[in-house]
Amino acid sequence: MQEEKSFSINWRAIDWWLIAIIFVLAVFSYLGIRGASPLYGEDTKQLIWYGLGIAVMLGVMFIPGRVYYMLAPILYGLSILLLIGVLIFAEPINGSKSWFILGPPSFRLQFQPSELAKLVTIFTVARFLTDRRRRIEDGDMQESFWGLWPVFILFALPMALIVVEPDLGTTLGMAVTLLAMLTVSVRPRYTLTVVGVYASGLLALIFLYFFFPQLFFKIIKEYQWRRITAFLDRSIDPSNPDQYQLYYSLQSIGSGEFWGRSVPEQELLTFNRRVPFAQTDFVFSVIGERFGFLGSALLIMLYFFLLYRMIRIAMQTTSTFAHSVIAGIVGMFTFQIYENIGMTIGIMPITGITLPFLSYGGSSLLINLFAVGVVLGFSVRKESV
Amino acid sequence: MNQVVRRFNVLFMLIFFLFALLILRLTVLQLVDGELYAQAATNINKKVYTTPGQRGWIYDRNGVALAKNELVYSLSFLDEGFKKAQIEQIAINLEKIFQVYAEKDERYKAMNRVTIMEKLDAGYAYVPKTDDPTQRETLIKEAKDGTRFDPAEWELQDAPMMLYRHVPRKVAQDIPDTIMFQVQERMQDFPGIKVVVDARRVYPYGSLGAYIIGYTRDIPESKVEDYLPRGYTSFDRIGMTGVEASYEDVLHGLPGKTDVLMNNLTRRLETREVYPPSPGANIVLSIDAAYQHTVENILREEIKNLNTRPVNPLPNVKEAMAVVLNPYTGDVLAMAKVPGYDLNVFDAPDFSARYQTEVAGREQNVLVNGGYQPGSTFKMLTVMLALQDGLMRPDEKVLSTGGVKIGDRYLKDFKAGGHGWVDGKRALKESVNTYMYEVALRLARQAGPGNAYRTQFDHVREVAAQFGLGVLTGIDLNEEMVGYVTPDSSDFRQLGNLAQMMIGQYDGYTPMALAQYVSTIANGGYRVRPHLVYSVNEPEENSRTPGPPVYFVEGEVLGRVGIDARWIRYVQEGMREVTQPGGTAYAVFQGMNVPVAAKTGTVQRGTGQTNGVMVGYAPYDRPEIAFVVIVPGGSGGADSAGPIARRIVAAYFGDEPLLPLAGVPDEATRPENQP
């Protein structure tokens, strides 16, 4: 009886704003990808993915949070297996073993297990935090920092598997996600402790760099180091392969000025593919060049609004599970948006992080829309966990 | 519950902060610096091509082309976004074609894939596999000079590009027709390679006027940076010597400018010619090629005659030089040194071999930068100086007894027993040294007691400089230098040397400087700047004629000498006497139709050898030419330089027929094109 009830939703409570934002992002995504003059009709394909993804999102809305709560351990185990599998079976693309390639060459589907792992880890950790909260409220356990050890293990396992792919960006994203989840679920000083651990890890790396460089370069790959130095180097030289992408990205975004660059399309830097990966990682360069400050700022506001709506939903629900999940999803999106846009405008080092909802890529769009669907689901019913 | 809201608010604040950073950065990027980025972005896609304009031709005064361009084929390469393997295959295919010609044409000997890859400049380079530095060096050296190359010892690596990707590279210039056909027939084997029509500099008369015309070469690597801003491309050639060098700015065509809009894949989207290339201006020289040719031939024949004549043969005479000027306008009428060299050697397929045998040792333009002591031909200056300074009266006679003791040295007259009592004119006529020594003694005395005479060296030089001796004549050649200046140390400033200076055995001057000196005497005291170029002309479509003149290079008076006209007249008369009975050059010019004024010189070179020198002008009463002839290793001036001078004058005034011009056959420079 109660099960049945949890599948029914309160239509009035649906966050139509959130859904509207998704539709506007779909338009941005289409224009951004088309502006990069993709070779294989990625702009149209992205629209198809959006259709599929929105359907999934709306469908997911009907699934009660309980389901993820219950399935979390199984999904977690599955995604760990996939992460191990991708390391063993995948062919490296751009030097990292992050993708499974499915389907015939004519309609190639690249699936990134780490995308799934991110979301599933959020569910699993949320489940743990929910149980923990209940036990503390029931007086079964004392709140303590060390009691959080399963959280760290649950995050550390997929992060370790992802960092060896290597995919440093996603790993860092998960680290930020962890912080976001802890922020809303545990005492602030525990979160600050984790921040302190991150900071001392960073200091340790800096120490190694200066005193044990050999060890340092065992941990940080040479190409990663070059990206960091290329980012720190303020004089940007287009003939330096590590700065080439950043140079043209800054050129294209900067030349957008306020209204967007008003020259024939074929003269746009992004249109004639001066900026590599402009339909995926560097899609923001296209937006910046075509739509200028107006369009870029609008897009950033849109993202901000999206995150705002999600946090609003979190604030309106009483479910601890929902709080944790939404905090995780918000943290995940925030990191990706900030890192991706930040790297295109030169305030973050370049990593392979895509811009959620805009970059071309079916599997990540599906997962992101799935996540939004989960959040929407929390808004339309009173959660039982 | 409140707690959760508060914690979410913290999260929200952090997000707000991060997004504010993004907006802030965008403000700077797009609003503050946007305009700069927008300007730069326009230039990223727009590339400017320059197409070199044709180099101007060089003609003689009658419109005979002495330096021209011939159309040849070249191979150029443009990377259209090829993969590494494709580029390697292009290099290997080219290597195959070129190696067939390595036997015939040494330029292709070193055209192995290593050098080809370097010319393709596509971001790759072959490097030796070995790590041993000395072995590496030998391998590189051998591959470069084409002595040995084994592909197994090399591997292809990434390398920085020298030029932008969109700039076409020249792979091979001036290729034989057979290579051109092979490449065109098998275009699919050579993607990115194009056969382009190119110009080759040709000197139709070979060595004719080698020291006037000069030659062109590729811009030396060290100077490319200097030339690029002036509109040159890295394939351009520049004049290295002669008029080719000194009129580089005139001859060099103005490059055309084409804006090409292109995308990242080097595909051209739109081409817009901003302005077409314009050919360089043509140049008309003041020389008559036939006369120049005749003078060169006279030098050649007379050297042979001196080497082989039955009486007193001079086998050591290897070279001879002559300069003929118009004394009033400064027009260079002939400027020759024999042996010269074929200007086409520098483009020849067998360049290095021919350079060794035909050019080495002859390249220096000694006509304008060699130092030759004038010997007795300096005596006009001595006499003028003596008269001007009041050291001698025009009718004052000095007794020559065959020698005079100056300081600790006994200086001799060349005529044993002396010339008796001689005045200045007779001193020139018979070339009396004692008269000149007396001038030296008086000059020293005039300065004052003790070592005061030492300042008189500077005084003599100052007067000589007014005639162009010891200074630049100002001829339009970059390679001009002042001859040889004896060092100013007191070792050389002995009284004896002042006497030597008076007979031209002190400083050395260039033949051109001597010509200016003689011209100055001939025209009554005006130093005129000699010039090789008569006019600069507008280029014409087919270059068959020089085209309408743009401007003329006029004779320019550099100065009036500080010698009274009567004293110049005095030495003119003395020089006329030289060719009269009893004069040192009487026999030389005997029976000529034109009255000649001259002066002989015999320079003791200290090695026991002498240089024969003859200077003069003709006709005596209305000078049209001033001439200088120097025969290093010749005997007396009259004996060795005399016959040359006579024939040069005769040829100019039509008493000796001019030799018809003989062109260099095309096949001589292009053996591989022979059937």
The chain-wide mean pLDDT, for chain A, equals 88
For residues B269 and B262, give the distance between their C-alpha atoms in angstroms, rounded to a whole number.
Answer: 5
Interface test with A, best of B13, B15, B166 (most A CBs within 10 A): B15
Interval B5-28 mean pLDDT: 93
Q: What domains are there in chain B, each with its CATH number?
A: 48-285 (3.90.1310.10), 289-673 (3.40.710.10)
- Amino acid residing at B572: Q
For residues B536 and B82, give the distance between their C-alpha atoms in angstroms, rounded to a whole number.
Answer: 47
| DSSP assigned state of B55 | P
- φ, ψ for residue B217 (rounded to 5)? -145, 170
Tell me, what's the pLDDT at A334? Answer: 96
pLDDT confidence of A1, banded at 50, 70, 90?
very low
Q: Give which of B200, B211, B205 is closest to B59, Cα–Cα.
A: B205
Tell me, what's the pLDDT at B636? Answer: 84
Residue A4 has pLDDT above 50, yes or no: no
- A305: nearest CA partner in chain B: B16
Residue with tokens 């309609």: A107
- Amino acid residing at A251: Q
Residue B673 has pLDDT above 50, yes or no: no
Contact B38 A257 (CB under 8 A): yes
Query: Lowest mean pLDDT: which of A150-159, A243-252, B424-433, B434-443?
Result: A243-252
Cβ-based contacts of B36 with chain A (< 8 Å): 254
For residues B81 and B60, give the distance between their C-alpha atoms in angstroms, rounded to a whole number.
Answer: 49
Query: Lowest mean pLDDT: which of A45-49, B412-416, B563-567?
Result: B412-416
Residue A10 has pLDDT above 80, yes or no: no
For residues A280 and A365, give the distance between their C-alpha atoms in angstroms, rounded to a whole number.
Answer: 11
Query: Lowest mean pLDDT: which of A193-202, A253-262, A360-369, B658-667?
Result: B658-667
Give yes or no for A378 touching B (CB within 8 A): no
Interval B556-569 mean pLDDT: 94
Give yes or no for A242 touching B (CB within 8 A): no
Q: Give which of B264, B675, B525 is closest to A39, Cα–Cα.
A: B264
Residue B224 has pLDDT above 80, yes or no: no
- The answer to whether A32 touches A358, Cβ cutoff 8 Å, is yes
DSSP track, A2-67: HHHHHHS--GGG--HHHHHHHHHHHHHHHHHHHHT--SS-HHHHHHHHHHHHHHHHHHHTTS-HHH
Complex ipTM: 0.92
Residue A362 has pLDDT above 80, yes or no: yes
Q: Give which of B246, B271, B105 is closest to B669, Cα–Cα.
A: B105
Q: Is the dihedral of CA A63, A68, A69, A74 positive or negative?
A: positive
- A188: nearest CA partner in chain B: B7
* Strand, helix or coil for residue B58: strand
Residue A50 or residue B410, greater confidence? A50
Cβ-based contacts of B266 with chain A (< 8 Å): none
Query: Lowest mean pLDDT: which of A2-6, A309-313, B237-241, B408-412?
Result: A2-6
Tell me, what's the pLDDT at B49? Answer: 65
Cβ-based contacts of B10 with chain A (< 8 Å): 183, 188
For residues B163 and B168, give the distance between their C-alpha atoms in angstroms, rounded to a whole number.
Answer: 9
Residue B377 has pLDDT above 90, yes or no: yes
pLDDT confidence of B71, banded at 50, 70, 90?
confident
Residue A27 has pLDDT above 60, yes or no: yes
Tell me, what's the pLDDT at B151? Answer: 83
Tell me, what's the pLDDT at B637? Answer: 81
Give yes or no for B268 touching A (CB within 8 A): no
Residue with tokens 């006709």: B619
- How far, in Å, are B503, B512, B514 from residue B629 at the CA level? 18, 10, 10
Residue with tokens 């060595």: B207
Contact A311 B8 (CB under 8 A): yes
* Strand, helix or coil for residue B438: helix
- The answer to whether B156 touches B84, Cβ cutoff 8 Å, is yes
Return the H-helix or E-strand segment holding A379: helix A362-380
Tell me, what's the pLDDT at A76? Answer: 95
Residue with tokens 């295109």: A344
The packing angle between helices A283-316 and B2-26, to 10°, is 160
| Structure tokens, B116 | 């080809």
Residue with tokens 């702009």: A43
- How far, in Å, are B51, B167, B256, B258, B279 from residue B274 at the CA level? 11, 17, 8, 5, 16
- The answer to whether B288 touches B333, Cβ cutoff 8 Å, is yes
Contact A250 B18 (CB under 8 A): no
Return the H-helix or E-strand segment holding A150: helix A149-163
Contact B29 A308 (CB under 8 A): no
Cβ-based contacts of B271 with chain A (< 8 Å): none
Interval B422-431 mean pLDDT: 93
- φ, ψ for residue B482 (rounded to 5)? -75, 140
Cβ-based contacts of B42 with chain A (< 8 Å): 263, 267
| Structure tokens, A97 | 């073993």
- In this structure, chain A runs to a length of 385
| DSSP assigned state of B223 | G
Angle at CA A103, nearest 5°, toward A97 and A107? 105
For residues B613 and B597, give the distance between their C-alpha atoms in angstroms, rounded to a whole number.
Answer: 14
Q: Number of CB pairs < 8 Å for A and B? A: 133
Query: Lowest mean pLDDT: which of B90-104, B123-137, B222-236, B580-594?
Result: B222-236
Cβ-based contacts of A318 with chain B (< 8 Å): 1
- B7: nearest CA partner in chain A: A184
Q: Give which of B380, B373, B374, B345 is closest to B359, Cα–Cα.
A: B345
DSSP-H helix ranges across B357-494: 366-369, 379-388, 424-429, 433-447, 455-466
Query: Of the ranges B133-137, B197-201, B204-208, B623-627, which is most confident?
Result: B623-627
Interface test with B, best of A191, A253, A267 (most B CBs within 10 A): A267
Return the H-helix or E-strand segment holding B169: strand B169-175
Three-state SS for A86-149 is: HHHHCCCECCECCCEEECCHHHCEEECHHHHHHHHHHHHHHHHHHHHHHHHHCCCCCCCCHHHH
For residues B375 and B640, give the distance between their C-alpha atoms in angstroms, rounded to a whole number.
Answer: 14
Which one of B7, B22, B35 has the shortest CB-CB distance to A257? Answer: B35
Tell me, what's the pLDDT at A268? Answer: 84
Tell me, what's the pLDDT at B266? Answer: 45
Nearest chain A Cα distance for residue B140, angstroms: 27
Residue A14 has pLDDT above 90, yes or no: no
- Amino acid residing at A227: R
Tell me, what's the pLDDT at B265? Answer: 47
Nearest chain A Cα distance for residue B10, angstroms: 8
Could you tell me what percent of chain A has a pLDDT over 70?
A: 95
Which one of A184, A239, A345 has the shortest CB-CB distance to B11? Answer: A184
For residues B362 and B351, give the distance between their C-alpha atoms in angstroms, rounded to a whole number.
Answer: 15
Tell me, what's the pLDDT at B672? Answer: 45
DSSP-H helix ranges across B310-423: 351-354, 366-369, 379-388
- How far, in Å, are B152, B354, B668, B674, B675 from residue B100 at the CA level? 20, 22, 21, 16, 16
Cβ-based contacts of A185 with chain B (< 8 Å): 7
For residues A82 and A229, give the distance between their C-alpha atoms in angstroms, rounded to a whole number.
Answer: 33
pTM over 0.90: no
pLDDT tens-digit readout, B501-543: 999 999 999 999 999 999 999 999 999 999 999 999 988 877 7
- How far, in Å, are A167, A377, B31 from residue A66 at the CA level? 31, 11, 49
Which one of B18, B42, B44 has the shortest CB-CB distance to A334? Answer: B18
Residue B48 has pLDDT above 70, yes or no: no
* Strand, helix or coil for residue B338: strand
Cβ-based contacts of A251 with chain B (< 8 Å): 37, 40-41, 44
Query: Lowest mean pLDDT: which of A5-14, A161-170, A294-303, B9-18?
Result: A5-14
Query: Of the ranges A38-47, B185-194, B571-580, which is most confident?
Result: B571-580
| DSSP assigned state of B34 | H
- How far, in Å, are A235, A236, A281, B187 from residue A231 at the CA level? 10, 9, 16, 44
Interval B442-453 mean pLDDT: 89
pLDDT confidence of B675, banded at 50, 70, 90?
very low
- φ, ψ for residue A49 (rounded to 5)? -60, -40
- The answer to whether A130 touches A122, Cβ cutoff 8 Å, is no
Which one of A266, A267, A314 has the shortest CB-CB distance to B8? Answer: A314
Give yes or no for B32 touching A (CB within 8 A): no
Q: Is the dihedral of CA B304, B306, B312, B317 positive or negative?
A: negative
Could you tell me what percent of chain B has a pLDDT over 70?
A: 94
Tell me, what's the pLDDT at A122? Answer: 95
Contact A254 B29 (CB under 8 A): yes
| Structure tokens, B362 | 């002859």
Interval B98-102 mean pLDDT: 84
pLDDT confidence of B671, banded at 50, 70, 90?
very low
- How far, in Å, are A350, B292, B571 from residue A229 at the CA level? 11, 68, 82
Interval B588-614 mean pLDDT: 90
DSSP track, A297-350: HHHHHHHHHHHHHHHHHHHH---HHHHHHHHHHHHHHHHHHHHHHHHHTTSS--
Tell me, what's the pLDDT at A107? Answer: 65
Residue A370 has pLDDT above 70, yes or no: yes
Tell me, what's the pLDDT at B66? Answer: 93
Contact A296 B26 (CB under 8 A): yes
Interval B586-614 mean pLDDT: 90
Residue A283 has pLDDT above 90, yes or no: yes
Residue with tokens 């000694």: B366
Nearest chain A Cα distance for residue B271, angstroms: 13
Nearest chain B Cα distance for residue A77, angstroms: 29
Name the region of B553 (left: φ>0; alpha: ψ -120 to 50; beta: rest): beta
Contact B31 A307 (CB under 8 A): no
For residues A354 and B647, give the distance between their C-alpha atoms in angstroms, rounded to a whole number.
Answer: 90
All residues at 6 or more sequence positions from B202 whose CB lies less than 8 Å from its CB, including other chains: B67, B68, B69, B70, B344, B347, B669
Residue A327 has pLDDT above 60, yes or no: yes
Contact A188 B7 (CB under 8 A): yes
Chain A contacts in chain B segment 269-298 (CB below 8 A)? 269
Contact B7 A315 (CB under 8 A): no
Tell me, what's the pLDDT at B531? Answer: 95
Which one of B5, B19, B45 has the shortest CB-CB distance to A300? Answer: B19
For residues A355 and A300, give the distance between their C-alpha atoms in angstroms, rounded to a whole number.
Answer: 11
Residue B669 has pLDDT above 60, yes or no: no
Give the distance, in angstroms, between the CA of residue B370 and the centroid of all CA atoms in the same chain: 13
* Strand, helix or coil for residue B570: helix
Residue B630 has pLDDT above 70, yes or no: yes
Residue B83 has pLDDT above 60, yes or no: yes
